[in-house]
Amino acid sequence: CVSGMRAETARYSVPEEAERGSFVANIAKDLGLTAEELLARQARVVPEGEKQYLQLNQHTGDLVVREQMDREELCGQSEPCL
């Protein structure tokens, strides 16, 4: 039995041209947590594919671009690309 655990889903829009290191959002702030709480809960970004496009700094709560995204590689010809 695990008490006090929950999963949160957050969605953000990131321009295809966003360069490595570009700021996306502060996850801690958006979830109503302090950076210390985020670290204590061992928050992490779980990619759906092989590539990790985003990186979370557990000490600050900042979510940044880890690898530049290519829309065609991610979505092919499907519209909209989510």
pLDDT at 45: 86
Asked if pLDDT for residue 2 goes beyond 50, the answer is no
User: Confidence class of residue 10 from pLDDT cuts 50, 70 and 90?
Assistant: confident
pTM of the model as a whole: 0.76
Least confident of 3-12, 14-23, 34-43, 48-57: 3-12
Whether the pLDDT of residue 82 is over 70: the answer is no
Phi, psi of 11 (to 5 degrees): -120, 135
Of 82, 20, 81, residue with least CA distance to 53: 20
Res 12: pLDDT: 87
